[in-house]
Structure 1
């Protein structure tokens, strides 16, 4: 399996609003990748439904743990990698199984839990070399560590 490149984009929503995190795989935002997949598969609704995760709106715990599939809040066996375009992750999440080993991190078994009949088998899997993945998480953590107010629910 080919190894993919990952980065985490972060920007403030609106003018000084909360920080929004969007994974970028092989240079493309995950929001664009999933929109393209859902539209091509004829899913409805599709396109512009997803947005990044907003840690300020939900206590995901440390983003490093979250994106290694070890979120501190029990969300079941899968991890939200995107939220809804409205900003609330639970409204329209893209969930994935994140499996981390000493050498690799794999995102697979994607699902949209509000549309259980949708088939995401052909989306992914995305496999990342562990050291560059950890570097991307460290870059994210260094930016958001001082930027996120983790006291809000």
Structure 2
């Protein structure tokens, strides 16, 4: 199976004056991919509901752990990949199972935990080359600092 390309992009969020992490799969923001899927599936509400993750708002722990599905502060066995458009991941998150092997990182079993009846079976799975995935995570960490982000007080 061909693998997807991942980019962890850190950008300034103008409305909140904070930095957020935007995930891009094969060049397209994950927010756009999920919007298209939910709109095509006629889910309500849908469209412009998601935003990137804002480490300042939640103690994700080391980003490498979080994006390998080992974040100790997540909701259950799945990991938030997107937060709400308002900036809080707990408000309207997109969750997925993250599985890592020496060769691949796979995102699958997507869910919106506040709408348990939604069916995301046709979304993903996304598989990434482990080396490319880890290289991009290291690049994110280099611009983020220690990778352990503390929430604002």
Give the TM-score of the pair, scaled to structure 1: 0.94
Query: Does the 8 A contact of 1:59 with 1:152 survive in 2?
Result: no
* Cα deviation, residue 75, structure 1: 2.1
Runs of 4+ in 1 over 2 A off after TM superposition: 146-149
User: Partners of 2:151 and 2:112 in 1: how far apart?
Assistant: 28
1:125 to 2:125 alignment: yes
Give the Cα–Cα distance (whole angstroms) in 2 for the partners of residues 117 and 130 of structure 1: 32
Does the Cα contact within 8 Å between 2:141 and 2:147 map onto a contact in 1? no
Distance in 2 of aligned mates of 1:42 and 1:22: 24
Unpaired runs of 5+ residues, structure 1, are none
Contact 2:59 2:149 in 1 (8 A): no
1:8 maps to 8
Q: Which residue of 2 aligns with 1:112?
A: 112
Equivalent-residue separation in structure 1 for 2:57 and 2:79 (angstroms):
16
Deviation at 1:148, TM superposition (A): 7.5
TM-score (norm. length: structure 2): 0.94
Q: Does 1:86 align with 2:86?
A: yes
Counterpart in 1 of 2:138?
138
RMSD: 1.8
Q: State the alpha-carbon separation in 2 of the partners of residues 16 and 114 from structure 1.
A: 24
Distance change (3 Å), C-alpha of 1:23 and 1:76: same
Q: Do 1:19 and 1:148's aligned partners in 2 also have CA atoms closer than 8 Å?
A: no
Q: Which residue of 2 aligns with 1:20?
A: 20
Give 1:98 deviation, angstroms. Answer: 0.2
Query: Between Structure 1 and Structure 2, how many residues are aligned?
Result: 153
